[in-house]
Structure 1
Amino acid sequence: MLDKVIVGSEEWCAFPELGIPTIKARVDSGAKTSALHAINIAPFQKDGDNWVKFDINPIQNNSKTIIHCQARLVDKRVVKSSSGYREQRYVIKTGIKVGETNWEVEVTLTNRDSMGFRMLLGREAMSGRILVDPEQKYLLGQPTQEKLKEYYNNSNEEKKGLRIGLLASNPELYSNRRIMEAGEMRGHEMHFLNLKYCYMKLDAHTPEIHYRGGRILNDFDAVIPRIRPSMTFYGCAITRHFEALKVYSLNSSSAITQSRDKLFSLQLLLNSGVDIPTTGFANSPLDTNDLIQMVGGPPLIVKLLEGTQGKGVVLAETKKAAESVINAFKSLNANILVQEFIKEANGKDLRLFVIDGKVVAAIQREALPGEFRANIHLGGTASVIKPTAEEKRIAIKAAKAMNLKVAGVDIIRSTKGPLLLEVNSSPGLEGIEGATSKDIAGEMIRAIEKSFKL
């Protein structure tokens, strides 16, 4: 026990083999594995062995300082994050230095932008070497700001930032936190604007947008709409008013409106030459029989036009079940789509994230055993995939057809080739950032900067 190093709950450590002279770590005996912040992760071959290269911003809230790293790949495993999300991570083994002590540790690579520490030291890495005093911090010392600048050669140049508003409903949502942090890290003045607290003045001479308490919001350079389905009408009205005030909107109000209309969006996609699963739409219950046959018969999918992603969706496995579901919805005057069921997809779909006409990340999502899956994603695990050229083409074409700068494009693989399921104008970031370790939120901010030629 006397040979063990006593540390606090927070300490500074180093990874000499990775070229990281110092990094702040959370020492957590409750976590089994250690995790290191990493973005732009890419596996490659070196001398016949599997390696991985990645980038790291070693200092929290500083995206300008980047270290390019590479290490031998020792494993690839599914890890459950503190938020309960399961993600597949690359695992490396490298030397760590804590105080004056050096040893080798296994570390998983993941995007920790939303966390308070770039490094998490888990109990497997500490075993036999470290004792933790949870009431203490930095028992082994910490670098001064001058020392950090010396280590990382930081630039003192200040970049002129923009005033950006995030139009959304929940500031604690992972995606919203990440976008706020990404904007701040790139030197912008970020403001979370709860849509429910916004209201507008329609006037030919002095149009205004007000916020709870009477604050006027006319002085923004750009807004990022993240509108949940139940707020589509009001959220798009607020976004439209910002646009009338010449405020740049990352996704326009008209693009969001049409993306939320399932029937209209599918018609737009088809007119642009994008293939979808065979889909039927009818108003009269008298046409139910022909509607079922139109999409190839059972099993088939019944979707509410007004339903949110993953909700208002029913799998009808027999003709009788299909008739019952369709007629039940019709009796409630609910508009529905009937769609062929793609059996060969086997519970998997692809999410391609498109920003400014480019696919910046892609994952395959797979349902957990026994989970219902109806041509849509309901949960399960996510893993990195390399989309085909055709799948990229479809995703880019779909985003362009919907006039969306930012879009989550869902694609399913079938015997007929890739088919487009849905285009989401407010795609979540947690799953795709967690699986790919890419800075998607940063890419969204960069798209705004590009429009201002920053």
Structure 2
Amino acid sequence: MDKKIIVGSEEWCAFPGLGIPAIKARVDSGAKTSCLHAYNIQPFNRGGEAWVSFEAHPLQNLRRPRVRCEARVLDKRTVRSSSGDSEKRLVIKTSISIGGSVWDIELTLTNRDSMGYRMLLGREAMMGRMLVDPSESFCLGEIPPSQLEEYYHDEHHMAGTGLRIGVLASNPDLYSNQRIMEAGAERGHRMTFLNIRQCYMKLDSAEPEVHYRDGRILNNLDAVIPRIRPSQTFYGCALTRHFESMGVYALNGSQAISQSRDKLYSLQLLQEGGLNIPISGFANSPMDTNELIDMVGGAPLIVKLLEGTQGRGVVLAETRKAAESVINAFKSLKVNLLVQEFIREAQGKDLRLFVVDGKVFAAIQREAAPGEFRANIHQGGTASIVKVLPEERKLAIKAAKVLGLKVAGVDIIRSKKGPLLLEVNSSPGLEGIESATRKDVAGSMIMAIEKALKWRPAIATGDSLPPEVSD
């Protein structure tokens, strides 16, 4: 008993083999496996063995410093979290230093950004070596900020060595834009936020240019990520098109964005591509109201403004009389609208599949707030992890391909006829899906640019991961 280390509910430790001199750990004897926060997880092959490269934020609630690590892959396991969710994680073995003692432990790797601690110390790592006093903290001593600064002041910053990427958007404080900027910087790229309204175009067959409000000429960008709000679709697409004409890669092209923003045209393209959509009707004259209602099977039905977004401009008409009133009211305002069949069996739920570079990277189920019919987290709904069916995955991937989008938020509703496409968003929000799935969606967008431009970070060379460890 005297040889065992007495620890509290939280302690400082280190991982010398990973280059992490200090990280605060949550000591949890209720958890079997120890876990380390990791992002940009990149499996590779070294000398015929499976290895993994990843980056870590060792300091709680901070995205700086970041430490790049490499380790041999020990295993790949399914781990069940305290919330009951299961996740496949890579497992590594490395030495831990704590309280003056050093021994090897197994660590699973996952993104713990949303958790209170970047490190979880489980009972397997403590067995036979530690006693836990949950009423205490830092029994082995605190590490002052000055010491942490000394540990990490020589951190190698990758920023400035990678691609020059501009984020074309309107609000730099928006979660999605912040995450994209952070993800790019974390992968070593020079990120620039560009307010669309502050960009000016010079049309010249010899020297076309894009100027910014501070006098900069933006011709040296390698890529842009358009995040265009609906009210700026015309100018945002024109700006994106100008960058494309100058040879700058756009993650989502101007034509693809324009197509996706026109709800009627996008449905026509999806229909032409043989994809299943809800029965929809469109007309220009109020004289056609009854025909429209009958066309989609009568009430209840959905009325959508073509210019609406994020659930706005979408109305459920529960009776025929209500449908006539809503349609005629909208038409009196001279706005374009769609009438669409109501899928009762969906029970106010839909799926958001986040497609990146031809693959479904993450997916959530969105459930409408009480009293609402549309599953939309922007309008007070909730998001949860969902198991996506193969036909839903194929539908989302093909929808993004038909519209020419590298990145898309594809909304699908489950019906008796199978999955139906609701719409495809060219600037999908990241907060709901990253919070629910704890996946680095922003990082996947940056990696899509790297792939398109054939850029690779300075990590160990190697081939693909062996089949038994690969996803």
TM-score using structure 2 length: 0.73
Measured in 1, the distance between the counterparts of 2:40 and 2:202 equals 44
Measured in 1, the distance between the counterparts of 2:280 and 2:111 equals 38
Letter of the 1:374 partner, please give it. Answer: R
Deviation at 1:111, TM superposition (A): 3.9
Residue 61 (structure 2) aligns with: none
The change in CA–CA distance for 1:372 and 1:165 in structure 2 (over 3 A counts) is: same
Measured in 2, the distance between the counterparts of 1:380 and 1:100 equals 50
Deviation at 1:401, TM superposition (A): 0.5
1:144 lines up with 2:151 in the alignment: yes
Measured in 1, the distance between the counterparts of 2:40 and 2:312 equals 33
Measured in 2, the distance between the counterparts of 1:190 and 1:26 equals 32
Q: How does 1:324-403 map to 2 (within 5 A)?
A: 324-368=325-369, 370-374=370-374, 378-403=379-404
The change in CA–CA distance for 1:142 and 1:409 in structure 2 (over 3 A counts) is: same
Residue 264 (structure 2) aligns with: 263
1:77 lines up with 2:53 in the alignment: no
Letter of the 2:55 partner, please give it. Answer: N
The alignment partner of 2:414 has SS state of: strand
Residue 128 (structure 1) aligns with: 135
Measured in 2, the distance between the counterparts of 1:401 and 1:308 equals 20
The change in CA–CA distance for 1:373 and 1:328 in structure 2 (over 3 A counts) is: same
Deviation at 1:446, TM superposition (A): 1.3
Measured in 2, the distance between the counterparts of 1:426 and 1:380 equals 19
Measured in 2, the distance between the counterparts of 1:115 and 1:331 equals 51
Contact 1:341 1:375 in 2 (8 A): no
1:65 lines up with 2:69 in the alignment: yes
Measured in 2, the distance between the counterparts of 1:74 and 1:6 equals 21
Contact 2:170 2:195 in 1 (8 A): yes
The alignment partner of 2:224 has SS state of: strand
Contact 1:351 1:408 in 2 (8 A): yes
Residue 45 (structure 1) aligns with: none
The change in CA–CA distance for 1:136 and 1:269 in structure 2 (over 3 A counts) is: same
Contact 2:368 2:376 in 1 (8 A): no
The change in CA–CA distance for 1:72 and 1:254 in structure 2 (over 3 A counts) is: closer
Measured in 2, the distance between the counterparts of 1:366 and 1:76 equals 23
Letter of the 1:403 partner, please give it. Answer: G
Deviation at 1:382, TM superposition (A): 2.1
TM-score using structure 1 length: 0.76
Contact 1:61 1:184 in 2 (8 A): no
Residue 274 (structure 1) aligns with: 275
Residue 105 (structure 1) aligns with: none
Contact 1:164 1:221 in 2 (8 A): yes
Deviation at 1:140, TM superposition (A): 8.4
Q: How does 1:145-184 map to 2 (within 5 A)?
A: 160-184=161-185
The alignment partner of 1:65 has SS state of: strand
The change in CA–CA distance for 1:219 and 1:411 in structure 2 (over 3 A counts) is: same
Residue 24 (structure 1) aligns with: 23
The alignment partner of 1:421 has SS state of: strand
Deviation at 1:37, TM superposition (A): 3.5
Cα deviations by residue, 1:335-377 (Å, 9 ceiling, x for unpaired): 1001111111112111111111111122222234x14123655
Q: How does 1:298-309 map to 2 (within 5 A)?
A: 298-309=299-310
Contact 1:301 1:374 in 2 (8 A): no
Letter of the 1:24 partner, please give it. Answer: I
Measured in 1, the distance between the counterparts of 2:19 and 2:253 equals 42
Measured in 2, the distance between the counterparts of 1:131 and 1:160 equals 39
Structure 1 vs Structure 2: percent identity of aligned residues? 61
Contact 1:302 1:337 in 2 (8 A): yes
Contact 1:24 1:117 in 2 (8 A): no
Contact 1:305 1:336 in 2 (8 A): yes
Deviates more, 1:164-173 or 1:69-78: 69-78
Q: Report the number of matched residues.
A: 403
Contact 1:114 1:177 in 2 (8 A): no
The change in CA–CA distance for 1:419 and 1:97 in structure 2 (over 3 A counts) is: farther
Contact 2:111 2:438 in 1 (8 A): yes
Measured in 2, the distance between the counterparts of 1:120 and 1:327 equals 59
Cα deviations by residue, 1:115-156 (Å, 9 ceiling, x for unpaired): 9984599xxx99511289xx994498787359x99xxxx9x9
Measured in 2, the distance between the counterparts of 1:287 and 1:392 equals 37
Contact 1:63 1:186 in 2 (8 A): no
The alignment partner of 1:144 has SS state of: helix
The change in CA–CA distance for 1:56 and 1:348 in structure 2 (over 3 A counts) is: farther
1:190 lines up with 2:191 in the alignment: yes
Contact 2:355 2:407 in 1 (8 A): yes
Measured in 1, the distance between the counterparts of 2:70 and 2:380 equals 33
1:210 lines up with 2:208 in the alignment: no
